[in-house]
Structure 1
Amino acid sequence: MADDNAQGFVIGDVEVFPVVEWAGPYVPLDALVPDLPPEAWREDEDLLVPDHLQGGRAVVALRTWVVRGGGRTVLVDTGVGNGRERPGNQLFHRRQGDFPERLERAGVRPEDVDVVVNTHIHGDHIGWNTHEVDGNWVPAFPNARYLLPAADDRHFGPEGGYAGGTRPDDRLMYEDSVAPVHRAGQAVLWDGTHRLDGGLVLESAPGHTPGSSVLRLQSRGERGVFVGDLLHSPVQIPHPECGSRFCLDPRQAAATRIRVLEQAVEERELVIPAHFGGSGAVRVAKKGGEFVFRNA
């Protein structure tokens, strides 16, 4: 897969660009968004193919967003990571890739990162929080504060029995990608809202996980919103009631998705999910009372 770093954009005075760990057709669209009416994707086929849909399979990307402005470098989500034990997902299990090299080719050295935002605690959003040094997992970004939703930290950590102990991967991902950040004193837990500065604000957006969040960016009158896994495919925009198979509380996730999309329309925010194909971002509007989208 070719580097995707060139497909960035600017919001006001802030540079935003992706570093892609992996991208390609993943699973059939109806397996990713199981409640989607069978005919729904055909309604927007011209907008979905080929960036978001190929051969009936949803195109997804494991993407970290780099947000650079005001002398600060922020990473939004950190992918899967290398060498992780993830027996529940063979795409992630013991993966080996060149993400650190991709990050450096994009002009980002580990010591330059000031803030890491994990929109939620899932294995494909926290993996490069850490790397292995002499057999131990340690923070990959030595000078960064790691912003973690407190509700997810409780749910997926030992306090919540590692998400109730139903999936071995949940304990594994917490212990190799979150616990080392706590031990290093670099973790910052937050609830409700958390302001990074005048132009970046984290807000709770629960449903996908208990602590799922969005990051709002505002600069010089322009706006964007990083929505993490609130959306897995653009086809959910005209059908916001349809969640992904990974949502822990589908009903709450749908209500959150509608609320965030309504604000995106009102504020003219660029919607920036974690996993979309193509440029990774879309514009959202309303037509006839329904949400519509176009690729950014």
Structure 2
Amino acid sequence: MSEVGGISQTSTERLVLGDVEISRVVEVERLALGAEAIVPDAPGEVWRENTDWLAPDHWDPASGDALAVVQTWVLRSEGKTILVDTGIGNGRERPGVPLFEHLDTDYLDRLAAAGVRPEDVDIVVNTHLHADHIGWNTREGHGSWVPTFPNASYLMPAADLAYFGPERGDAVRVDHRYGIADAVTPVVQAGQAVLWEGAHRIDSHLTLEAAPGHTPGSSVLRLTSGTDRAVFTGDLFHVPVQILEPCCSSGFCEDPKGAAESRVRVLGRAADEGELVIPAHFGGSGAVEVRRRQGEKFAISRWVS
């Protein structure tokens, strides 16, 4: 594990579900933010009562900080290499978000350690268009931002581009405007963006589905292969407390009520159909099985490495 800019980093892990191989490539291994800022409506006792498993991967009891990871999931399915979310990126201007500004990580080396060169990538999935999910869509090339993955189609939710796009001007928060400008617009201009709505089938194992609330276009990626099931949930969950208290949306959600409704729906299906839940920002093993507790409450059955 190395340290860059006070943010620690780690490397690669693998999992196989049916005919799909999954690798995790971590860009930033530890982001610490006040728990109240991440999930402001979560009661403090839910953190304290679950300290035994929340610490040390998801919560620092001494500081009260919730801990998150920034990572990419690499899927190999039906002969294609697919990236799910692309992190923060290097050398970015992100006014108001100092943790995301001017990173200098070895992300591409970590991707290479997972056996992926930029030219090998067939599909990039952006579960939504917040800056920490789109950064490595592009990299600097001859003084401008160019697509990092020259042979890839980039699947982006059309609703997010409409909501965060330049047409809305100053109605969009400044860091979102910068993110669209340097990590999305160059991909669109290169003709590599595929904007989708509702649902989008990638192959016989993988389907994108809308799960709005965190952003208007927030999505989940469902994996079905043989008897194995998983759902990559993007930012429906920032911390595991939201599995226990799914009504509690993050402080970053554009529509907290809508996000909670999507979260309950996705958790219900995961519990009923045995889907492994794989959020974008969970540390530790990164993947979890859930079960129904009562009504619209859920519990963690086990963590899956």
TM-score range, shorter chain: over 0.9
Equivalent AA in structure 1 for residue 267 of structure 2: L
Residue 186 (structure 1) aligns with? 192
Whole-angstrom distance in 1 between the partners of 2:11 and 2:192: 27
SS in 1 for 2:175: helix
Letter of the structure 2 residue corresponding to residue 101 of structure 1: D
- Looking at structure 2, the residues matched to 288 and 188 of structure 1 have their Cα atoms a distance apart, in angstroms, of 40
Q: Which residue of 1 aligns with 2:44?
A: 38
Residue identity in the other structure for 1:92: F
Query: Partner letter of residue 102 of structure 1?
Result: R
- Hey, what does 2:13 align to over in structure 1? 7
Matched, 1:158 2:166: yes
Code of the residue aligned with 1:18 in structure 2: it is R
Out of 21, 29, 50, the position equivalent to 2:27 is 21
Contact 2:83 2:121 in 1 (8 A): yes
Specify the alignment match of 2:299 in structure 1.
292
| Deviation of the 1:57 alpha carbon | 1.4
Report the CA distance between 1:288 and its aligned residue: 3.9
The separation in 1 between residues aligned to 2:163 and 2:143, in whole angstroms, is 27
SS at match of 1:7: strand
With normalisation by structure 1, the TM-score equals 0.96
User: What's the CA shift string for 1:225-248, capped at 9, x where partnerless?
Assistant: 000000000011010000111001
Q: Deviations over 1:255-287 (max 9, x none)?
A: 110001001111110000000111111111113
Percent identity (aligned): 58
2:107 maps to which residue?
99
Q: Determine helix, strand or coil for the equivalent of 1:259.
A: helix
1:264 aligns with 2:270: yes
Q: What residue in structure 1 maps to residue 5 of structure 2?
A: none
Match among 84, 93, 102 for residue 92 of structure 2: 84
Say which SS state the counterpart of residue 44 (structure 2) adopts.
coil
Q: Which piece of structure 1 moves more, 280-289 or 117-126?
A: 280-289
CA contact (8 A) 1:155 1:161 kept: no
Alpha-carbon distance in 2 for matches of 1:246, 1:86: 15
Q: Hey, what's the Cα distance between the residues in 2 that align with 1:249 and 1:6?
A: 33
Residues 118, 147 of structure 1: 8 Å contact kept = yes
Cα separation, 2, equivalents of 1:244 and 1:64: 20
Corresponding pairs, count: 294
Residue-by-residue CA offset, 1:27-78 (whole Å, 9 max, x unaligned): 1212211101111112322221111112321111110000112211000000
How is 1:205-244 mapped onto 2 (pairs within 5 angstroms)? 205-244=211-250
- Select which of 143, 166, 183 maps to 1:177: 183
User: Aligned equivalents of 1:158 and 1:287: distance in 2?
Assistant: 44
Q: Among residues 137, 157, 166, which one is paired with 1:149 in the alignment?
A: 157
Question: Is the 1:228–1:274 Cα contact (8 Å) retained in structure 2?
Answer: yes
Which residue type is aligned with residue 74 of structure 1?
I
Question: Residue 12 of structure 2 contacts residue 110 of structure 2 at CA under 8 Å; is this kept in 1?
Answer: no
Given residue 22 of structure 1, which amino acid in structure 2 is its aligned partner?
Answer: V
RMSD: 1.3
